[in-house]
Amino acid sequence: MTRLTAKDFDPEVLKLFDKYVHGQLSRREFIAAAGAGLLASLSPSFAAPLVPADDKRLKAGYVEHPSPQGYGKLRGYLVQPAASKAKLPAVLVVHENRGLNPHIEDITRRLALDGFLAFAPDALFPLGGYPGDEDKARELFAKLDQAKTRADFLAAVQVLKSHPAANGKVGVVGFCYGGGMANYLATMVPDLAAAVPFYGAQPPAADVPKIKAPLLVHDAGNDTRILAGWPGYEAALKAAGARYEHFVYPGVEHGFNNDTTPRYDEAAAKLAWRRTVDFLQQNVATS
């Protein structure tokens, strides 16, 4: 069966799907506008992770930690190289607006294979955790108290920073909602070692001077919604003297790094990922 890509869909359908994914259209409204078959073909398939969950090169499992300012308890997926004896650079992985699904767990394992202690919290844990269904997950996500969720991710940074297997330095990688969270954490954690937002919402300009971490920002060329906020963000970054790199990948869609959906673009994703790992190695893995 031939795998569909974003190029197989009318651009207007992709715009409608982006609105659906981000809660601006209901499922019923999307189906009415674009058709049920199109929704099914655009939805993710988790059948073939790049790194299997039982990969013997890794030590992986679910852990829980207290989050006093958040929902009370934080749960996530923690992965590290099985054979490593040295202290590891740590990376927080922040999911899209569906919680800790199999794709984000796969991303976490990929980072561990590159030599990182990687931790991916599930923002939906207070509501029962990722439900195994993307539509149900998206509905649950809208019910979160975002102030408590942000506090949970701040707690997760401290979990990684103090983890006995970690070197004390923490970076963050986030996608879509998680990209916005990566930007937020950069404004809140003065000693954050690096932040890599993939097509994430920008923080308020007033908070940008608080950013001390170097940023690596990945955006999609066709993502007009996110790109609309970039000029203001860049102006604030420049005014604050922040260290940043910004890459726009021409002709690709929001979500281009997610290899479980047709919006995935292999060339852009591989380039962005290579840049990401190199950036984290330079800023988190070095003393």
241: CB partners within 8 A, 6+ apart: none
Helices (H), the chain: 11-21, 27-34, 36-42, 102-113, 134-141, 146-161, 177-188, 224-227, 230-240, 266-283
- Nearest C-alpha neighbor of 97 from the set 35, 44, 170, 30: 44
pTM of the model: 0.86
d(CA 198, CA 216): 9
d(CA 52, CA 145): 33
d(CA 233, CA 199): 13
Query: In terms of residues, how long is the chain?
Result: 287
- For range 176-202, the mean pLDDT: 98
Helix (H, G, I), strand (E, B) or coil at 208: helix
pLDDT band at 15 (very low <50, low <70, confident <90, very high): confident
Residue 42 pLDDT > 70: no
Residues 251-278: tens digit of each pLDDT: 999 999 999 888 899 999 999 999 999 9
pLDDT value at residue 135: 87
Residue 47 pLDDT > 80: no
Burial of residue 263 (number of CB atoms within 10 Å: 0-12, 13-18, 19+): buried
pLDDT value at residue 96: 95
d(CA 188, CA 184): 7
Residues 110-155: tens digit of each pLDDT: 999 999 999 999 999 999 999 999 889 999 999 999 999 999 999 9
- HSE, CB side, 13 Å, CA atoms: give it for residue 89: 22
- Nearest C-alpha neighbor of 44 from the set 25, 26, 17: 17
Domains of the chain (ranges; CATH) run 1-43 (no CATH), 50-283 (3.40.50.1820)
Hey, what are 265's tokens? 């673009």
